[in-house]
Every structure is written in C-alpha cells, then in structure tokens.
A and B are shown apart, each in its own frame.
Chain A
C-alpha cells in the first residue's frame, strides 16, 4: 500500500511538473513565414517567437473538422478569426511590444503562445 501511495504522490507531482512547471523550448522562430497547423486538439507549433516592433503574419492551417478548431482568438490583441478547413488563413499582427500573448480556441482548450521579444 505504501508503494501505491508513493506512486500516487509521484503521479501528482508528475502532473504538476509536466503541465505547469515545465516550459517547452521555443519551437518556431521566424518573423516572415510562420505556419501553425491546427490538428488533433493542438496548435503545432504551439509556441512562436517574433521580434518586437515589427508587423508579422502567421498562417493557420486547420486540418480538423471539430468546430472547436474553427476559431482562433488572440484575446489581448482583439483578434478573432475563423479558420476554414484545409485552407491556409493568414492573420496579420501589428507591431507588438515585448511580452507573451496567448492564442486559443474559443473555449481555451487549444492553447498557444506568441512570444514577442526585443531583437538581440
């Protein structure tokens, strides 16, 4: 029983670490040609990095018919766009100040982050 309890506690610690504490490496870094695929309940890549102070555009390709995948919302930027199935949709972003901007589906189940940082 002790082993089961320890395993249970380790499992809880694992959940906390994996979903909250661990930050995956930045996946996509490019200001001109970012493509995010919406498929199987996730944005791929889910973390994008763009330089501050420059307008940028992100292309979204929705490959999933679920209505949840049908809208992408950048709530901080007041942008919300419908994504047609199997067609690229370009979302133009204004020049942004450094920070992290999240983009999600309407229900916040699909989540992605746009990291805007000063140029090195």
Chain B
C-alpha cells in the first residue's frame, strides 16, 4: 500500500457514538497509519497510511468490533467495466477492418475486373512492391494481434486460430514478395501476387471477430438483467435517522425502509408494516406476494403497495440474488459432457490443419498441373485460412450461456452443463407429494372422536404435543388449535419416530400421534376406527391416529390442497413422454386419491424418508433416467442419487446447495420448463457442433483442392477467409436464437 493510499473499512457492531473514538484510536495506534476518520452514520472508517488491510481489521477487532474492507467491486460495476472493455475492443477491431478493407477491396476489384495479378514487367514489379509494402502496413496495423499471438503460442508449444491466420496470410505475402523481388525463382506461370488475399483475409476475420463480439454481448443478456435487479442504494435507519447509503455498506441487522415502487436492497425479515411484493423477476411467479411482520423479503424484488421496514439478514455476497447471479454465471461457463469430443478435437485441431496444409502443398507440387507452385501456395493458404477452431470451440459454450440464462429468466436455476444435458434426457420423473404436488401447507379438515369427548380437548393435547415438531402436518395441527383460540401446554419426553409419528407427555398424559402402523406397534386398538380413516383417506385427507393414555382418542384428518397448476404441469410432462411417479410418506389411500386427482397412475405410498432413494434406484435399475423433485432438504439423499435432482424453492428459500436444478417458484410448470429449455439448448448445441464439424470436415478438403481433379474447382483464399470469419458468427447467432425460446408452452 502506498503512503498516499486510503482504505475504507465497514465497521460492524458500533452502536454508539463513543465507539468512534475507540475505533479511530485503535487504528491510529497501528504503525504506518497516518490518519483514521470514522463516519458514524455510515459505519465506515477511512484510513490513510501504508498498512495491509488485515492489520487494520485486526486493530478494529482488538477493541471489540468487526471490520471488513469495501474493496469488493459490485457485479454492476464489473458488468459496466466488461461492456466498456468490449466496446473499446469492438471499435479497435472496426478501425482495423476499415484499414484492411480499404486496401483489400480495390485490389480484389482489380483482380476480378482486370484479371491476373502477375509480375512480368519492371513497372509491374515497382507497383506491386509498393502494394506489397502497403499490405505489410495492413498486416501491422490490422493484423498485428494475429502475428504476436501466433508467435507467443508457438513459443508456448501451443497453436490457435492466430497461428492459422498468421501462417495463411504470412505465406501468401511472403510468396508474393518473393515473386516481386526474385521473379525468376518461380516458373513464369506462377508469377502471381496474393496481396489482395492477405489484406482481405485480415479485414474479414477482424470483421468476423467484431460481429462475434456484438453477438456475444447478447448471449449474456439474462445475467445482465439479474444484475440489474440489484438496487444501488438502501435507506437504512441509524440513530432514528433515515439515510441513503450504497448497498455494499448495509450491515447485518440494519433496519432498512423500503417505500412503494422501490426495490428490496438486501435480504431481510419484515419488522414493521405490510405490503405486496412482486417477486416475478426472481421466481417467475406472476402474482405479487403479501408480506407482513416476520415474513422474509428478498433483494432484487419490487415493493408494490406499502412502506415496510425490515431487518437485514443477508447482505453483500450472501443475498439470495447474489448467490443466484453467482450460480448462473458459473453454470453459464461450465460445459456439458457433449462438448468433450469437440474439446479434444480442438486441442489437436490446429497442428493437424498445419500438417494437412503441408501435405496438400506437397501433393500439388508433386502431382499438380502447372503452375504447381502457385497451386501449392493457394491450397496451403486456403487450408490454413478456412479451418476454424473457433466455431468448434464456441459451439457449446455459447448455447449453454444462452440456455442457462433463459432458464434463469423462467425461475429455473441450473447448476452446471452436466445437469443441463442430463435433464434433456430424463425419461422418468419422481415427484414428492407434499410441498411438490400439493401446497405443503396442510389444514385440519376433520376430527373424528373415538374415545374422547370433545374436539377442542383433543386438539389442545395434540397441538401441545406437536408444538415442538417441524413436520408440516404438525404445524397444521398447531395452527388449527391457534385458530380455535387454544394455547398449547408444555410437552415432556417428546420423541419423533421417523416416518411414523411422535410421542410425548402433556399434562401428565401419555400421548401418541401418528399412523396406523405406529398404533399397531404400540398395541393400541384401532379396529373400530379403520372405516372412518379409510373414508377420510379416500377423500385425499391424511388421517392420523391420536392416542391418550394407551387408548385411541380420535382420528384427526388433515388435507393438503393440490397446487392450482399441478394437474396441468403433470399433463405437460406426460405429454412429453415422461413417466411421472409420485412418492409419499402418506398412507396408500390418500396417495391414491391425490394421484387420481392429478392424473398420475404410478405411485409409491408409505415411503419412509430414508427409503426415497431406494425408489430412485429402483427406477434406474429399470433403465430410466430419473429426475427427482423434492423440497431439497428432507429429500437430499434421493435428490443426490437421481440423475437430476430438482429442488422446489418456495420463492425465497433457495435450496441452491442440494440440487442439480432449483425451481424458484413452487409451480411444477418450472419442471416442465426446465426440461423444455434443456432440450432446446441441447438441440442448439448439436446444431452448432454439427455445423462446425461439417464446416471443417468439408471445408478443409475443399480448400486443399480435392474437387479440382473432378470439377476443376479450387477455392480462393479470400472466400475461405470470408467463410471462416462468418462461421463463428453463425455459431453465436444460432445460439442467440435460443433467446426466442418460450418457457411456458402449455
């Protein structure tokens, strides 16, 4: 750090103005610090001096506060910077194109109109010498990057596109200069110059690079849109004052006010007010979501109606939006297995093309008609110029970039290229029932008394027992009790019996709450209640047996409503030839009722959580490529074992870590969208790879002159240059076609 340098630190935990002196003092005490000044309102401190930032952070920590640097550049700034870099590079390329084509086009026109550019007279030698020198100027001003790149790669024992272009144009120019200086070295008929080829090829390939750059810019539109969702400033409340600060400076637990029409700057929990928030930009869910105290809000979403204050719970790189951006960026740059062959080929491609060029020249020299030297030079140059490793290399990444971005726009986060490719091949999809097909918010719909006297008494005991449980069914019991104004008592000896139920002691009574199997295991007589339970199950309600003091007291039925669009989305999957299988821990009758309603014929009921992955394996044994959809937490082992694990996020709660693909909204349409976008992307990759392979496989032999003996056809190096320049533009443009993909095709 220079003496002149100023470092800004964000201070956490500074709650009172007296902290200012302590922190400034601690920093000034560090040797090398010239000055330290704290802005208490913003909780930042500016330090002048030549000290590593870690030492400054330690000094602040030594007096009991936390500090962090503000050096991190925001995604927004990075994107702006990238755009500025690309624009400057584009302008430079276009300048180079202009210089090269200003010489190349008239020369080309001359060769087409006047004819052969031969060197016979002294005047011609002088004129061509001048043009040769002008071409050298073009090579320097417009093509220097090819030659420098080729040379550096050569020293590195590698070869790339620069190598081919440098060799191709270099060969044409050197041969032409030899003709100009030593015409007698080559046979009469071969005294031909190719300066127009050199200038045109450089111009055209620079033009191709410029167009490719423009097209590439469009491939990252989705990520740009996500980054654009971030608010730039936040209105935080510090010392009862509301101040606007950059979002990078928002601290954990800061209270932040958001007014109608403003974006939520960081993740948090509402502490005051209520509003409706449009989360569509993140989740694809079109309806605004009501938010009141204790509800979560997510950075990047739009506050619609009310003014709210929320407490910041995740800031900076930890917000869901930042994680989503990070994940999409990573996925956009990852490669699906389909690209492996292209990758292997591109690693060997350039030296192979160089060898083909040499072989082609030798064949022409040995067996070609006169002027064999000219034919050899033309064919070698054309082979070098037409071969396009870029088209091969670009084929996959460009499509993945657009496809992953397009998926993100539809609220589908794809972890990497492999998940993208496998998702396109899924033949069977396992859907967890609760929370996936259904809302996952069950309600008590029926209380059938057996030995108990009143419903409220039963519900009170049941709710007291379940208060400590996190199971969705338990929560429905507790909520129902609250709705009836019943407050729970304390529970002792609480124990959850996985996949079966719970037990515990409330008000001295031994309680047991769970499925029929649990009752039978504990030898509780349920015989008189089986019919009622079956009736409930047939109506898609989940009956649960409640025993008090070793005797069945009641059956409480809860029902979890099916999501509005589950039926339609499942039909969409089935229409695409996917075998849809439902999986649930619920009893068989309830499972059957739900399956019937949503049109699923195959289901597994009463599956214990640890058995879910066995069902995935079972389908895989049958040769299916299995997708598993669950909530990402309880289903982690099954999600991991499936060929593709889909986690259903509930809008804000993004289970990024556990799944290959995360659906940001609850709707199962996301699933069909994810598969559709994967298929479209894979199709696009295949088109690109096919195009790139065919182009090189057909182009290189054509350039070498294999058609000459049969049809007298030999490709001009200029045409080869144009084809090469536009082959990679074509690949990027084809990838951009994916942007037109419509996610929700019902």
Residues of A within 8 A of B (CB): 1, 4-5, 8, 11-12, 15-16, 18-20, 22-24, 39-44, 46, 65-67, 70-71, 73, 75, 78, 80, 82, 84-85, 106-111
Contact = CB atoms under 8 A, between A and B. Distances in A.
Given A12-B355, A67-B216, A106-B397, A5 B362 contact: yes
Q: How large is the interface on B (under 10, 10 to 19, 20 to 34, 35 or more residues)?
A: 35 or more
Contacts of B151: 40
A71 B302 CA distance: 32
A20 B347 CA distance: 10
Given A11-B358, A19-B351, A109 B148 contact: no
Contacts of A82: 78, 82, 329, 333
Interface in B64-113: 73, 78, 81-82, 85-86, 88-89, 92
A12 B353 CA distance: 11
B157 interface: yes
A111 B82 contact: no
Interface string B396-428: 010000000000000000001000000000000
Given A15-B354, A40-B148, A42-B156, A78 B78 contact: no
Interface of B: 73, 78, 81-82, 85-86, 88-89, 92, 145, 148-162, 209, 212-213, 216, 329-330, 333-335, 343, 346-348, 350-351, 354-355, 358-359, 361-362, 365-366, 389-390, 393-394, 397, 416
B390 A107 contact: yes
A107 B342 CA distance: 10
Given A12-B359, A65-B89, A78-B416, A41 B81 contact: no
Given A40-B148, A41-B153, A65 B158 contact: no
B149 A67 contact: no
Given A41-B149, A41-B152, A85-B85, A19 B158 contact: yes
A109 B159 CA distance: 8
Nearest to B333: A80
Given A42-B153, A82-B82, 18 more contacts: A1-B365, A11-B358, A12-B359, A15-B358, A24-B156, A40-B152, A41-B148, A42-B152, A65-B88, A65-B89, A67-B86, A82-B78, A84-B81, A85-B85, A106-B333, A106-B393, A107-B390, A108-B347
B334 A108 contact: no
Given A84-B81, A109-B393, A111-B347, A4 B365 contact: yes
Nearest to B373: A4
B89 A67 contact: yes
A42 B158 contact: yes
A65 to B, nearest CB: 4
Given A41-B150, A80-B330, A108-B347, A19 B159 contact: yes
Given A41-B153, A107-B397, A109-B389, A78 B334 contact: yes
A46 B158 contact: yes
A70 B82 contact: yes
A84 B216 CA distance: 16
Contact of B82 (A66, A73, A84): A84
Contacts of A84: 73, 78, 81-82, 85
Nearest to B354: A15
Nearest to B394: A107
Nearest to B150: A41
Among A40, A43, A66, A84, chain B packs the most CB atoms within 10 A around the CB of: A40
A78 B326 CA distance: 13
Among B88, B347, B359, chain A packs the most CB atoms within 10 A around the CB of: B347
A64 B416 CA distance: 27
A31 to B, nearest CB: 19
A39 B362 CA distance: 35
Nearest to B216: A67
26 contacts: A1-B365, A5-B365, A12-B359, A16-B351, A19-B350, A19-B351, A22-B157, A24-B157, A40-B148, A40-B151, A41-B149, A41-B153, A42-B155, A65-B92, A67-B212, A67-B216, A70-B82, A70-B85, A80-B333, A84-B73, A106-B333, A107-B397, A108-B393, A109-B160, A109-B161, A109-B346
Contacts of B393: 106-109
B95 to A, nearest CB: 13
Contacts of B78: 82, 84
A54 B351 CA distance: 36
Contacts of B366: 1, 5
A82 B333 CA distance: 9
Contacts of B209: 66
Contacts of B157: 18-19, 22-24
A22 B145 CA distance: 26
Contacts of B355: 12, 15-16
A46 B358 contact: no
Nearest to A11: B358
A73 to B, nearest CB: 6
What 5 A-B pairs are tightest by C-beta distance, nearest first?
Answer: A107-B393, A41-B149, A80-B333, A65-B89, A109-B160
Nearest to A72: B333
Contact of A66 (B89, B154, B350, B361): B89
A71 B333 contact: yes
Contact of A12 (B81, B358, B389): B358
Nearest to A18: B157
Contacts of A73: 333-335
A85 B160 contact: no
Contacts of A110: 160
Contacts of A65: 85-86, 88-89, 92
Nearest to A8: B362
Contacts of B158: 19, 42, 46, 111
A18 to B, nearest CB: 6
B252 to A, nearest CB: 24
Contact of B334 (A5, A19, A43, A80): A80
